[in-house]
Amino acid sequence: MAAAESNLPLAEWMVEHRMSAPELADAVNDAVAQLTGRTGSTSERTVFRWLSGENRWPQERQRLALEAVTGRAVTHLGFVPRGKPSENEPALPEEGSDVHRRRFLGAAASTAAAAIPIAPPASARTSHVGTADVIRLRSGIERLVALDDERGGHGLESVALAGAAEALDLQRRSATQRVRQRLFAVATDYTAQAAWSRIDAGQLDGAEAHLERALTLAGLAQDSERAMQVWNLRAMLARQQRNYHEAVAAAQAAQATAVARRSPLHSSLAHARTAVCLAHSGQERPALRHLARAEDTLGKAELEQPKASWIVFYGPAELHSLSAIVHDEVGHPAEAEAASHRALAALAPSYRRNRAHTTARLALAQLHQGDIEQACATSGQIFRIMAGTTLPGRMRQLLGDFQRDLIASAPAAVAHEWTDQYRSEWSAS
C-alpha cells in the first residue's frame, strides 16, 4: 500500500494562523457544538491523521466545521472526497440538515469576508469563546495591515482600538487559558496598530500611551513576539521624538526578547532598528556594526515561512531601505542612494506607502551628493506614487526635511521652483 501523502494545504493554513493541532481540534469541536448542540469529539490525534494524510475525508460534521473555522472549502484545505460515503460515518439528521449546512457555510463566508471586527448583537453571542473567534479578529488585523501597506497607517486608530476592545470584551466569556492568551495577543496587535496609526500620521502625542498598554497586553499574552513588536514601535516613536538614547534602548530591548534570540528574521529587524537609532544619535561605528549583524542574520532567515502580520513587511527590501537611512545619517550618501535603489527594486507592488517613503530617502541621498536636479525629479515621484491618497504625516515630515535641505544647498531659484511646482500637489495630498 502506498504511503499517505501529507496534507500540505491544511498544514500551511495552521502555520499561517499559528494554530496547533489541539487548538484546531478545539475550534472544530466548538463549531460542531453550534451545529448539533453537542460538542464534537475531534481530538489532537484526529488532526494529526488529517495532516499525515491518513484521513483524507473527515466526517461531514467535521468538514462543515472546518469550513466555518477556516473560511475555506475543505477541498482547498487538501481534503479529497471519497468515491462513496463511509458506512461508518454518522450522517447528519435528514430533517433540517440543509438548514444546518447553510448555517455553517454562512459562518464560513462571514469568517472569510470579515474586514474589521464588529461585535455581534448581545442576543447572538454564545457564552463560550473559541479559536474561531480569535481567527475572526485576526482577519481584521490582516485587513488593517493591508490598508497600511497601501496608503499608510494614518486614520486607522479608532478602528484598531475597537478591535482591541472587542478582543478584551470576549475575555468576559467562558474560554480556555490558551484562547485567553491568544485574545490578549490579538488585543496587543490592535493596540500596537493604533499606536502605529498615530506614529505614521506624525501625531506622536497619544502613541506612547497606546504602546504602554500594548506592552502590558503582550505580557498578559505571555507572547515575546508581541513584546518585540511593541519595542520596535517604541524605538520608532522615540526616534521621531528625537529622543535618541531612548530609541536605542528600546531597540536593544527588542533584541533581548526571546523571539529575537531564536528567530534570525526578528533578530535582523532588531539589529537594523538599533542601527538606525544609533545613526541618528551620531554613533557611526556601532550603527554600521549593527547593520552588518542585521544583514548577516537576515541571510539565515527562512523568508518563505509564514510570518505574523506585523512583521510581514520585513525582508531584503526593508533592510535595504533601513540601510539607506543609516548610511545617509552617518554621511555616506552614495551608499544610501545605492541601498535605496536596491530597496525599490525588491519592494512588492502592494507596498505603495513604503515605496513612496523609500523614494523620499532616495531623493535626500541624491540631494546630499549635490545632484540637485535629479533629487528634485526623484522627489516629484512621491506624489505620483501616492496619487489619490492623503500623504501620511511621517512622509510629509520627510518631504519637509527635503525642502529644508534643498533651501540650504541649492540656488534660491531652484528651491523656489521646487516649492512652487509641488505646492499644489502637497496641498491636495
Alpha-carbon distance 238 to 255, whole Å? 16
Q: Domain-by-domain residue ranges, the chain? A: 8-81+97-109
Please give the pLDDT value at position 427: 65
* Residue 244 CB coordination number (10 Å): 17
Please give the pLDDT value at position 126: 55
- The three three-digit cell numbers of residue 401, written as one number: 526635511
Please give the pLDDT value at position 343: 97
Please give the pLDDT value at position 426: 67
Q: Which residues of 283-322 are buried (b: 16+ CB within 10 A; e: fewer)?
A: bbeebbebbebbbebbeebeeeeebbbbbebbbbbbbbbb
Please give the pLDDT value at position 82: 78
Alpha-carbon distance 371 to 262, whole Å? 43
Q: What is the mean pLDDT of each run of 10 residues along the chain (429 residues)?
A: 76 79 83 79 91 90 88 89 53 42 43 39 57 86 88 86 95 86 95 95 92 97 96 97 96 97 97 98 97 97 85 96 97 97 95 94 96 95 90 91 94 90 71
Please give the pLDDT value at position 83: 63
Tell me the whole-structure pTM to 2 decimals: 0.77
Please give the pLDDT value at position 44: 87
User: Is there a contact between 137 and 166 (Cβ–Cβ < 8 Å)?
Assistant: yes
Alpha-carbon distance 240 to 393, whole Å? 12
